Each structure stands twice: as C-alpha cells, then as structure tokens.
Structure 1
Amino acid sequence: MTAHLSRQTLPNLPPDVQQPGYDIAAQKIGIVHLGIGAFHRAHQAVYVDDRMAAGERDWAILGVSLRSPDTRDALEPQDGLYTVLVRGGEGVQPRVIGSVQGVLVAPEDPEAVLRAMVDPAVRIVSLTVTEKGYCHDPATGTLRENHPDIVHDLEVPLTPRSAPGLLVEALRRRRANGTVPFTVLCCDNLPSNGRTVRRVVVRLAELLDADLAAHIAADVAFPATMVDRIVPATTAADRDFITERLGVDDAWPVSTEPFSQWVIEDSFPTGRPRFELAGAELVTEVEPYEAMKLRLLNGSHSTLAYLGYLAGHETIADTMADPAFARLVRGLMDEEVTPTLQVPPGADLAGYKASLIARFENTALRHRTWQIAMDGSQKLPQRLLGTARERLAAGGSIARIALGVAAWMRYVTGVDENGAGIDVRDPLGERLRAIADAAGPDAARLAPALLGVREIFGEDLPNEPRFTRPVEEALASLFARGSAATVEAVASGTGA
C-alpha cells in the first residue's frame, strides 16, 4: 500500500520535485481563507508558499470550507500538503505546497471559524467563494436581502452561514475585543470586487448594527484584485500520475497551467506578504486589468463553453481545435471586446490576447466545457452583458456576444442537441428550467422569457431591441441548425 503525502514522507520524494523549503510547523496562521477550492490552492496559496520559502514568517493559511468537508477530509491526513501539477508544452511539473496549515468546515463548527478569524495574528481574510457565494444580485452588485443564507444570518447573526455573515460577525467581535480589523481580500471574478464585497458586507452590517456598519465602512480595507489561472477539476488520472511520479498518494491534488497572474490594489493597513516578489503586480488601480481579464478571458471562456458543449466538445482545447470556434473567439476579442477596454499603461494587449488563444489551445490542460458552464446566471453579467451594454452605447455590433448569451439560453433548457439531458449546475437552475419547459424549443418564446430574469439582465437589456433581436435570432439558429453550423455562420460573417 502506497503511503500518503505528509510531512513524514516529504524527505522520500524524488529530489527533482519542488517542495516546501521552510519549517512548516514553525509557521503561524496569518491568513484565513474562505472557500478553499482548487483555484485558491493553485493560485494564492502558491504565492504565499513562495514567500514563506523566501523567509517570510507567520503567513500560513487556514482554509475554510463553507459547504463540504471533502477538502478537509482529503488534506487533514496529509498535514495540509498537496501537489500542484503544472501542465504545459514541456510536460507536467509537480510541486508540493505547504502554505495551507489546516482546513475548517464552517457548517460543522462556525464558532471555530469565527475564533480563527478573530485571532489578532490573522491580518488577512481572503475569499474564493465564487460569484454566488456573496449572496448578491449580479446585475446590480447589491446584497440580496431575501437570500436564504442572508435571512438566516439576520435571524441568527452569532452563527452565520454565509461568507458576508462570517465577515460581519468576525469584524464585530474584533471591534468588541479592541483588535484591529483584518483586510478583506476578495479573489473572485466580480467587477470592482473590493468595492462590491465592501458594499455587500456594509449593507448586511447596516441591517444588524448601524455603528458596526459605520466602523466597517471607515476602518476595514477591501482591496480590489484580479486573478487569472486556469484550473480544471482534478481527475483520477492526476492522482495516478502523482502516485507513479512521487511515490506517494495525494487525495486532492490540483492541476493547472504554467500561466499565473495576480493584480492587487496595495491597501493592507495591517501588513501583507511581499507578493510582488512572488510575481504579483501591486497597483493603485485594478479595474483596467480586471476588465481585460473578465471580458477577454472569462467572456471568451463562457462563450466557448456553452457553444462547445452544445457542439459535443468535452474541453476548451477540443473546442478551439475547430477552426470556426477559433475564428469566432478571435473575432469576439478583437471586434467586440477590445473597443470597450481602457488598456493599462504599458500593457501589451495584442500579446495578452495571443497568450489567451495559446492557453485555450493547451491540450495538456483538460478544462471541461461543462465545468466552465456552471453558474452562468452569476457569470453572464460580468463576462458578457457589461460588454454588450458598452457596445450598444457606442453603436457597435454584438453578434458574437449575442451568440454567447443565446448559447447559455440553449444550454439551460437542460436538453442537448441529441436529446440527452444536461446536468445544469446553477443557483437559479430550477427556475431557469421551469421557464424553458414552459416556453419549449421556440426562440420567440424562450428568449423573452429568460430575458425577463431581472437578476441577470437588469431592467434595460430586455427592453433594448438591439440586444433582444440578435439574441433571439442566434437562439433560433441554435435550435434549427445546431451550434457548429451557427458558429460557422457567425464566425464567417454571414450571421446566425
């Protein structure tokens, strides 16, 4: 039987496998991270690991799962250690990460999570809870006060369930104890994510305690960030590779690409690791970088995911191997997204777009279209609809954006082009499926019905014929001709 990865087995790893070059046990917790999923472990935890290897102390991470115990159960026997598999053209490079000191499961013991967040040694609470984890309205960026988790946290604020609720209660306790507040570091794909999370947290605090809300608004830092690294779901093949390559079992490794980017607004009143020495960019204004990433990478990713899935492509690389899909995404980037961007000084926009195409085409990284298609109701406003609004305001065309939106509509019907079921994962999934079932496979009925979901499309787009008409036409083509033929038509400029 193969031994597990652990501190005890680290010395037995092959000498060419990078591993923590510091005393793991001597590090203290300095960061509590809410939402310890694969992305965090392949991105922020790696930057922290770099700085700890460089000699910075007491920035170890305590992870918190807000839902499932799976990550805790996998990492606890491994002393928090796990492997990052970097997959590129030169093969697979494994690296063992030691920056995660432990994992708590909030539903099992919210009090333990709050105690950790209140510890004066904790100076940063970071988050990757996905767009839906902020219990906000993606179309407006405001708190959804009727969200079930928010209703619970208003009724029982001392044992919160949501990420905003945990932040508010921990900040309340720190204030009561005379402890300076931690910095709230959002690492999710939200527009102006620092300000958005600040708005959500302050509003929840207002509903509980006006003085606390004023304290949070005045004294708590919410720096904006932009994060970028493609992290597919872990597979059995990843685990098998580690067993063979490292000679140990790893219950929960992560697989990723060589590229990694982190742009951070430099606002940390109580200190931070020197992330810039690990390759992060510390800036005064994140929004231009964020817009480039959300609209070019994420907007293209979602468009490829829905259309690719409908066309029968399992991964993004498979989708990009079809020349029509590759032309479509290049046209989306160049003709519809680029005119809406304010490019940061010194940024190489052409080089960035070329790097995105290369990353999408990376066959070593099996990023499934189904995985990217999850939670579309939360993603569309940031990834495609903001671009559409700006294009329409400037009098520009939105043919490719409209096709991406229409592909999402076709996808959430829950039935693919061969009549098989689609496992649609979305917080509004049941509602969307009910709308689709009532409308049937009729674009003239389905498009207006889904456009009526105001949490996604707001009040303006459903009443804008320059938006609704191309979306309906694209959806009609997807029903009549299928994804591949529709993509070919739009990519070649002949229309849907």
Structure 2
Amino acid sequence: MKLSLATLDQLPGGVGRPGYDRAALSPGILHFGVGNFHRAHQAEHLDRLFGTGCGQDWAIVGAGVMAGDAHARAVLEAQDWLSVLVEQEADASTARVTGAMVDYLPAADAEAICARMAEPDIRIVSLTITEGGYFLDAEDRFDPDHPAMRADAAAPDAPKTVFGMILKGLRLRRAAGHAPFTIMCCDNIPHNGAVTKATLTGLARLSDPAFADWVAETVAFPNAMVDRITPATSDRERALCRDVWGIEDGWPVFCESFTQWVLEDDFPAGRPPLEEVGVQFVPDVTPYELMKIRILNGGHAVIAYPAGLLDVHFVHEAMEHPLVNAFLAKVEREEILPGVPPVPETDVAAYLALIERRFANPKIGDTVRRLCLDGSNRQPKFILPSVADALGRGGPVEGLALASALWCRYCAGTTDSGAVIAPNDPNWDRLTDAAQAARTDPQAWLGMREVYGTLGEDRRFADPFGRWLDALWTEGTAAVLARYTGHG
C-alpha cells in the first residue's frame, strides 16, 4: 500500500494512523532540518499531542537549505507529508503513520521561507541542523570569520544560511508589527539555546549591531535536551516497512521506543502543551543535557572507533564484542561518570545501565559508521569536555586518551584488517593527513586547535594519547583494548 492521505483508511491492520483530522490542523512552527531525528522526536511528540485533541494550531511547516533537502521534500510531498514511524525493541515492534507536518517549503526558495516566518501564525522556529551547523570555533564560540557568515553579513537580504534566513524573517516580522517568534534548538549541543542565540546575534552584529541588540533583548532561546536513537534510513528500512508492515514509504523512520525531551519553559509567543505527552518542562536544562551528552553521546564516541577499526558494522554488534563492551564500561564508570553532577530525581548509574541496554538493542540497525561520522565536530562536544573535567579534578584520562587515539587511528583511513575507510567527515582529507603524520609525531594530530584547543598541549593527556596511538599501530586495536580493560 503506497502511503498517502487517500490510503490511510486502507492501511494494514496493526498499523496506527493519525488520531485526528489533518484538515483541522493549522501551522504554528516552522522547522529547519526535516530529517529522521526530527520526525522521530519533535514531530512524533506533536503527532501524539494532536491525537489528544490539544494543540492542533501548532502543526509544522518544514524548511530546508541543503542540496539534499529537495529530494527529501519530493519524497514527502508524494505521500502528503506523512511518514511511517517504526519503534523497535528486542522483543517488540510497532508501526504508525504520523502527520504533524502540513507543508514543506522548497529549499531553493529562501524568499518564501523568510516570508513564511514573518506570518503571525508562526510562533516557534525550531532547528535540527546537526552539531556542526552552528559556525563555532574550537572554543565553541561563534566564528565571525566563517565564509558563510561573512557572505550572509554582506548580503542580509539574500541569505543562504539558516541563520541569515531567520534574521531576515525577524526583520520582516518586526516591520509588520508582529511579536518575534521563539527559536527552539533541538540539536545535541550543550546549552543549545544559548549557542543558537550567540550564532544568530553574532551574525546580526556583523551588519547591524542595533538589530543584534534587539534580537538579544526580545527573542527567546530556550535550552533543550533531546534524546532518541534514530539511525539513517536505508534500503533495509524501506524493505522492512514494505515487507513487514505492508506500506510503501519512500522515507520511513525507524527508532527505539525510548524518547526523552527536557525543555526550559521560555516561550513568550506561546507553545503547544507538550507536557501532555511526556515532555519535561524545567527551569534549567543544564544537568539533564550534561548527563546525556557526556554519557550517551560520549559513550557512542567511545565505542564507535574501536568497533570501526575491528570491522564491526552494527552498534548492537559492537556491544556484543567483549572488548568493545568492556572498554565502554570502564571509561564510562571510571572517567566520565565522576564528572557528571547530580541530576534532579535521576540515578546517574541507572541512567548509564539504561544507555547500555539501548545501545545493545538489536532491532535498531544503527551503524557504527554513523557513530563515526563527523568526529571533528563531535569529539570537541562529546569527549573532550570530559577530558577537561577529569584533568581539572585530578582524575584519570587514560581511557579518554585511548578513545581519542582510536579516532586518530580511524582517520588514517584503513581498519586493522586493511579495509579502506570511505571518507566520513567534512574535513576527511585534512584529518587523514594529520593522522598519518601522527604515527611519528602525535602533535600533528593534537595540534589541531580547532578540535583540541589547548588540551593537546597538556602532557597529562598528550602523553597517554601518544602511547596509545603507538600501541594501536604496532599491536592492533584488539590487543590494546585487552590491555586497557584487563580482558584477554
């Protein structure tokens, strides 16, 4: 059955469908980055909320700026903006059709996107544009010299980036006398609302300092912690959707059943009542986001590169590998958890145990290669803060140094078996050159200040990094993991 509005009533039994009249929905949110995570998280929460009869004036209008967004839009348009969402656990799977998005503006039409943001019904602009999309330097500050930012600052009425478009939308809105929308970041970045504010106001300041001040004073940027493991869609997922659930969906979403969203309640223009579907509204999201980024995202980075070097394909297979599993457990418990401060009503050790179970879910089909992607942006956010914290309190960093050395060894471009690793980072060529040079000079890698800042100069981290990197080249990944974990 090809997915569309016309076929909703003919879907196979056991497949859920929107529990509301989609014709009754009206837009309230414009979202940049209509990818799998957004559809499994923000859109899924809204779909459940609409099914309760609440918040139906908060439907989503999608928007994109990347080249691949045109294809994504075409696929979703052909199925009336509907998506199949498959939640998978080891012992059960469920499927349902979600329909919280009611339009998707063409990526090539920046003028239309800006004009839509200026309409008074859009009260929230949300983003999932990946951790690397915020134009930050090595110290996680806005980079005013980035060519894309310079280009948007030179032509603010013809923006090319998400942030340039948002600024133009705010200018149009102010000129029309409409209150500003709230900007809600849903990316895995510490203090993601504050980071979004810094990038937006930093860009505005390059061309109009007074307008930058207005944005800083009047626009709300609530911080959020978001969590749901959601792998990329491949032919595997499309085939499962067709063969198991009987639905032809060009872009289904497969994810785990676990989901979490913690959000600061700062929405001057109003918000949907998401607390009705499990969203936690708190005065300060910091402890929640720190716990998740250090333990979950950091844990992904810990297992990614040893598994990649050992030619492991799926994440659950990495968790079944005794050396990779033992490596994760030792680094988390001895070096990461001690730096995670208390979280309200949360047992951090129990949270780690939950994370380990989620990583081991065999149904998800999450790939090691996805975890290895974009390390030059993810390592500074997910691993190196734990290093800095451990050094600050005088704790051990042997395991974290090994995790970083494994990333370096991976970026050299071959696994332990000699298999070629296809480029897996926007800066792959530079990383490969640095990783090869680091075989004889570890500072060729640690000297990347945009990644390591000054950490690469600290001998307490640099010395074990160099020792582990040499051992990885001379002994191999399995032998090094066995030595570190004490597992033969």
Q: What residue in structure 2 maps to residue 200 of structure 1?
A: 199
Alignment of 1:447-458 (within 5 A): 447-458=442-453
TM-score with structure 1 setting the length: 0.95
Structure 1 residue 82 corresponds to structure 2 residue 68: no
Sort the Cα spacing of 1:430 and 1:177 in 2 relative to 1 into closer, same or farther, 3 A. farther
| Alignment partners' CA distance in 1, 2:87 and 2:465 | 38
| Alignment partners' CA distance in 1, 2:93 and 2:235 | 15
Shift of 1:278: 0.8
Q: What residue in structure 1 maps to residue 17 of structure 2?
A: 19
Instruction: Write the deviation string for residues 223-260 of structure 1: whole angstroms up to 9, x where unpaired.
Output: 00011110111122322222234433100001100110
Q: What residue in structure 2 maps to residue 479 of structure 1?
A: 473
Q: What residue in structure 2 maps to residue 339 of structure 1?
A: 338
Sort the Cα spacing of 1:476 and 1:16 in 2 relative to 1 into closer, same or farther, 3 A. same
Secondary structure, aligned partner of 1:9 = helix
Instruction: Write the deviation string for residues 79-124 of structure 1: whole angstroms up to 9, x where unpaired.
Output: 0001011110233211111001122232x11111111211110111
Q: What residue in structure 2 maps to residue 393 of structure 1?
A: 392
Determine if contact 2:14/2:95 at 8 Å carries over to the other structure: no
Determine if contact 1:65/1:71 at 8 Å carries over to the other structure: no
Shift of 1:201: 0.8
- Aligned AA for 2:357? A
| Alignment partners' CA distance in 2, 1:105 and 1:456 | 34
Secondary structure, aligned partner of 1:142 = coil
TM-score with structure 2 setting the length: 0.96
Secondary structure, aligned partner of 2:30 = strand
Shift of 1:429: 2.0
Unaligned runs of 5+ in 2: none
Instruction: Write the deviation string for residues 420-457 of structure 1: whole angstroms up to 9, x where unpaired.
Output: 321232222232223335x1xx5341x21121111111
Sort the Cα spacing of 1:338 and 1:432 in 2 relative to 1 into closer, same or farther, 3 A. same
- Aligned AA for 2:373? M
Give the % identical residues.
39
Determine if contact 2:115/2:172 at 8 Å carries over to the other structure: no
Shift of 1:15: 3.7
| Alignment partners' CA distance in 2, 1:296 and 1:444 | 32
Instruction: Write the deviation string for residues 443-477 of structure 1: whole angstroms up to 9, x where unpaired.
Output: 341x211211111111x212200010111111112
Alignment of 1:109-148 (within 5 A): 109-137=109-137, 139-148=138-147
Which one of 21, 26, 29 corresponds to residue 28 of structure 1? 26
Determine if contact 2:144/2:202 at 8 Å carries over to the other structure: no
Q: What residue in structure 2 maps to residue 299 of structure 1?
A: 298
Which one of 463, 469, 472 corresponds to residue 469 of structure 1? 463
Structure 1 residue 379 corresponds to structure 2 residue 375: no
Structure 1 residue 49 corresponds to structure 2 residue 47: yes
Shift of 1:176: 1.7
Determine if contact 1:13/1:246 at 8 Å carries over to the other structure: no
- Aligned AA for 1:70? H
Instruction: Write the deviation string for residues 175-209 of structure 1: whole angstroms up to 9, x where unpaired.
Output: 12211111111111111111111111111111111
- Aligned AA for 1:443? R
Determine if contact 1:299/1:384 at 8 Å carries over to the other structure: yes
- Mean Cα displacement is larger for which, 426-435 or 351-360? 426-435
Q: What residue in structure 2 maps to residue 328 of structure 1?
A: 327
Q: What residue in structure 2 maps to residue 273 of structure 1?
A: 272
Deviating above 4 A after TM superposition, structure 1's stretches of 4 or more consecutive aligned residues are: none
| Alignment partners' CA distance in 1, 2:351 and 2:213 | 41
- Mean Cα displacement is larger for which, 280-289 or 62-71? 62-71
| Alignment partners' CA distance in 1, 2:467 and 2:17 | 54
Shift of 1:418: 2.7
Shift of 1:269: 0.6
Determine if contact 2:339/2:386 at 8 Å carries over to the other structure: yes
Determine if contact 1:72/1:102 at 8 Å carries over to the other structure: no
Unaligned runs of 5+ in 1: none
Shift of 1:493: 8.3
Shift of 1:384: 0.7
Determine if contact 1:49/1:97 at 8 Å carries over to the other structure: yes
| Alignment partners' CA distance in 2, 1:149 and 1:414 | 29
Alignment of 1:216-227 (within 5 A): 216-227=215-226
Q: What residue in structure 2 maps to residue 261 of structure 1?
A: 260
| Alignment partners' CA distance in 1, 2:357 and 2:395 | 27
- Aligned AA for 2:125? V
Secondary structure, aligned partner of 2:378 = helix
